[in-house]
A and B are shown apart, each in its own frame.
Chain A
Amino acid sequence: MKVLLSKPGLDGHDVGVKVLAYAMIDAGFEVAYSGLRKSIEEIVQKAMDIEADVIGLSILSGTHLILCGEMREVMDSHGLTIPWLVGGNIPHGDVDALLDIGAASAFPTGTTVEEVINYLKELEKKNS
């Protein structure tokens, strides 16, 4: 399974997303990373270019609801239906709203790396 990890918005905190990238590689996933400060359009475009199976958005500045709304629109406009996930500094109270917007899963602050990996493994099983 190929995962595109990404950093939308202007926030430059990338320790978490890089730690996740290493963990996913160790768990046997194929990982690509967008780099910092990409627009949602750039991220979705890259996902299509590399034929990613899932997209992960890492957001720590508090703009997750705005950016995920945009994610939904851009995904729809390209007719792309692969699952996308969001993590970073996400309050528990915003998880349901993010799922309503269209995230396949939203990982609130305090989520362990293991929980994300387990989620991806389940997803892979379901898809195969």
Chain B
Amino acid sequence: MNEKKVFLESGIEVKPLYTQEDIKDSEAGQNMPGQYPFTRGIHPEMYRKRPFTIRQYAGFASPEETNKRFKFLIENGQTGLNVAFDLPTQCGLDSDHPRSFGEVGRVGMAVDTLDDFEIAFHGIDLDKITVSLTINGSAIVLMAMYFALAEKRGYDIHTLRGTAQNDILKEFIGRGTWIFPVDASVKLVVDTVEYCAQNVPKYSPVSVCGYHIRESGANPIQEMAYAFCIAKAYTDDTLKRGVDIDEFASRLSFNFDIYGNFFEQIAKFRGGRRLWAKIIREEYHAKNDKSSWMRMIAGGGGGGLTKQQPENNIIRSAYYALISTLSGTQTMALCSYDEAYTIPTEKAAELSLRTMQILIHEMGICDTVDPLGGSYYVESLTDRFEKEIKKEMKSVEEMGGIVVAVASGKIQEKVSRQAYEREKGIQNGAIPKVGVNIFQKDEDPKPVEFHLYNEDAANDQIEKLQRIKETRYGKKVQTCLEKLKENCLQNVNLMPAVMEAVKAYASVGEIIGVMKEVYGEYDEPIFF
């Protein structure tokens, strides 16, 4: 037999053959879907009852265009939307701020005041469509706008559903739309979790993102471990506010990455799901089973896609979708094949949608629950992942916990060095990549269809903001902002004050500006 050793990206050695011997001590045989610890899935019937939700990421320059797109999607039977915001909105700057020049509406929808949300959701029944807000640094403001909109329109926010990404700790590791220092940033997340537990209990206030951590260079074990450490950090602080674990844990969800070794990803999710259930039940003593569910969105991994031979990304994404399905995901969003070099074109986005639809409707993938359950290899690797993720979480604790490890830049340094090692591996061929270091062909840099920047829409947005600032009750805005500042200094939950401010049409930049006066801004640790 070939003596060459085989290792997964996580460093786990793979044997040439797995047998019953490998799972003789495993709990796999006792695990049942829909039952604690949910290794085989959080629901007893999984996709047989209802396939995973398709929720592609999309953003449009202006609230007006977004509204058109919403209506189009609803007419076509979609029930969920994942909203992308432009960078000024994500960084808490208004469209007329000098630093926003050239960025307004570029990578998503521009939002300055509640008026923009009123336009974007005009004529849309908020009970019929669940909206996911991909927002982090300024999430408290955007969530408040969504709730304020619902209240103004007469909905009872106690029954309002939806999701916010709102995972600031991962922004310090990857993605980078942080605003405030780490402690203040975590405080704001916990404010939203506490507020939602009490006022918007069906809303998911945080989606913890292993995804961006892995995209920044983490291996699959670290991806899960850091995400769980982050989720625990929010959980610990929410508990300190006196909120019961069963009042919010079931509303925490996860966003994970998929690229790399097929079985490694599946084991990562199965082992991770089992470990998270045990953490919530054993460490936090949750009584409600739902609290210990690792609910997730998982689909495409941008890190696996290549600029070279871009059509190959369509094939890769189909495999990633299959991995996600075999791992029992709740929601799926795929990266489009052109995402390695541009914001997806309509054609590319449609292909992603079709990839998932073919999987659901043609492949029989929804017929039976957890079809890989019982596989000697998958179960043995699942056990190993549970153990390794736990070990990695312990090493974070030894660094002083995830908040300290992120604030000091230690995690960032570790993963970015790994990203470099990976890049070297791709360059020297140690990590095979089709079209990049094997099976290359000479490619003319094809003129690709690009998503163009709409400068007129940006100017309209700025004019609209100016108009609102002239017509709103300036005195009321002032009072609201003063109250907000007072609340910041008193260290109380800011959500009610932010709600009042957005209702008075205070802008994202004004609200974040007040918070900056009190909290200051994050000083990024530089390790070069």
Report yes or no: B176 in contact with A14, Cβ–Cβ below 8 A.
yes
Report yes or no: B450 in contact with A22, Cβ–Cβ below 8 A.
no
Report yes or no: B427 in contact with A113, Cβ–Cβ below 8 A.
yes
Q: What 0/1 pattern do residues 31 to 48 of A give for CB contact below 8 A with B?
A: 111011101000000000
Q: Is the interface of B mostly helix, strand, loop or mixed?
A: loop
Distance of A63 Cα from B343 Cα, bound (Å): 13
Kindly identify, within residues 362 to 401 of chain B, every residue whose CB is under 8 Å from any CB belonging to chain A: none
Report yes or no: B176 in contact with A36, Cβ–Cβ below 8 A.
yes
Q: What 0/1 pattern do residues 406 to 450 of B give for CB contact below 8 A with A?
A: 000000000011011001100100000000000000000101101
Distance of A46 Cα from B524 Cα, bound (Å): 16
Q: Of all chain B residues, which has the CB nearest A34?
A: B526
Report yes or no: B341 in contact with A15, Cβ–Cβ below 8 A.
no
A62-B176 CB under 8 A given contacts A15-B215, A15-B419, A31-B528: no
| CB proximity of A121 to chain B, nearest CB, Å | 16
Report yes or no: A12 in contact with B171, Cβ–Cβ below 8 A.
yes
Kindly identify, within residues 69 to 105 of chain B, every residue whose CB is under 8 Å from any CB belonging to chain A: 87-88, 90-91, 93, 99-103
Across-interface contacts of A36 in B (CB, < 8 A)? 176, 524
Across-interface contacts of A108 in B (CB, < 8 A)? 445
Report yes or no: B419 in contact with A37, Cβ–Cβ below 8 A.
no
| CB proximity of B387 to chain A, nearest CB, Å | 29
Residue with the highest number of chain A CB atoms closer than 10 Å, among B178, B308, B420: B420
A61-B174 CB under 8 A given contacts A11-B87, A89-B341: no
A10 contacts the other chain (Cβ, under 8 Å)? yes
Across-interface contacts of A14 in B (CB, < 8 A)? 174, 176, 416
Across-interface contacts of A87 in B (CB, < 8 A)? none
Report yes or no: A25 in contact with B102, Cβ–Cβ below 8 A.
no
| CB proximity of A51 to chain B, nearest CB, Å | 16
| CB proximity of A107 to chain B, nearest CB, Å | 12
B464 contacts the other chain (Cβ, under 8 Å)? no
Question: What is the interface size of chain B, counting residues whose CB is below 8 A from a CB of the partner?
Answer: 43
A62-B416 CB under 8 A given contacts A37-B91, A109-B307, A109-B341: no
| CB proximity of A14 to chain B, nearest CB, Å | 6
Distance of A35 Cα from B176 Cα, bound (Å): 10
| CB proximity of B442 to chain A, nearest CB, Å | 13
Across-interface contacts of A23 in B (CB, < 8 A)? 420, 423-424
Q: What 0/1 pattern do residues 1 to 42 of A give for CB contact below 8 A with B?
A: 000010001111111001101110100000111011101000
Report yes or no: B103 in contact with A92, Cβ–Cβ below 8 A.
no
**Contact partner, B416, options A18, A31, A66, A109, Cβ 8 Å:** A18
B220 contacts the other chain (Cβ, under 8 Å)? no
Report yes or no: A18 in contact with B445, Cβ–Cβ below 8 A.
no
Q: What 0/1 pattern do residues 261 to 278 of B give for CB contact below 8 A with A?
A: 000000000000000000
Report yes or no: B307 in contact with A110, Cβ–Cβ below 8 A.
yes
Report yes or no: A61 in contact with B106, Cβ–Cβ below 8 A.
yes
Report yes or no: B107 in contact with A22, Cβ–Cβ below 8 A.
no
Across-interface contacts of A127 in B (CB, < 8 A)? none
Distance of A108 Cα from B308 Cα, bound (Å): 12
Across-interface contacts of B420 in A (CB, < 8 A)? 18-19, 22-23
B453 contacts the other chain (Cβ, under 8 Å)? yes
Leading 4 A-B pairs by shortest Cβ distance: A12-B176, A10-B87, A66-B102, A92-B445
**20 pairs, A vs B, C-beta closer than 8 Å:** A9-B103, A10-B87, A10-B93, A10-B100, A10-B103, A11-B176, A12-B177, A14-B174, A15-B216, A18-B419, A19-B416, A22-B420, A23-B420, A33-B528, A39-B99, A91-B342, A109-B307, A110-B307, A110-B341, A110-B445
